[in-house]
Amino acid sequence: MTVVLAWTTTPEGQAAQEAALSEAARRGLDLVVVPVEEGAPTPDLHADGVDVRVRHPDRRDRDVVGDFLDIAAEEEASLVVIGVRHRSAVGKLLLGSVAQQILLESAAPVLAVKGRTPAREA
C-alpha cells in the first residue's frame, strides 16, 4: 500500500506534496510521486521515515489521467493526493479538468488539496 501523489510545479502541487508527505508519514506508507506535467523536472523529495519513489507516466497515448491512474493501481494506492485550483465553469468545459477526472475515476480515496492563497488586505 502506498500514497500516490500527482506532482506538479504549481503552488497547488506544492501544497499537495506537503500533504502527501504528511499522510505517508502518518500512515507509515511509502510515497510514490508521479510527475503529471509534460517536461517537468524530476522532483527530489525526502522525508524522515518515508520511502519516496518517482514513477514517470508512460505517455505513449498522451492520456495523463489514464497513465496516472494505472500507476496508482499498480502501486496499490491507499490514498491519491492531488492539488486543485478554482476554475470557472467555462474554463472546465473548454479545457477539461485533470483533477476532476482523477476524483471521478480513482479506485482509491482522493485527497484534494488547495494551494495557499495570499492574505487579502482589508
Confidence of residue 95 (pLDDT cuts 50, 70, 90): very low
What are the extents of the domains in the chain? 2-114
What is the architecture of the domain spanning 2-114?
Answer: 3-Layer(aba) Sandwich (3.40)
CA distance readout (Å), 92 to 68, 85, 104, 120? 20, 11, 14, 26
- d(CA 108, CA 68) in angstroms, rounded, equals 12
pTM, full prediction: 0.85
Query: pLDDT tens digit string along 51-91?
Result: 999 998 876 666 888 999 999 999 999 999 999 887 666 55
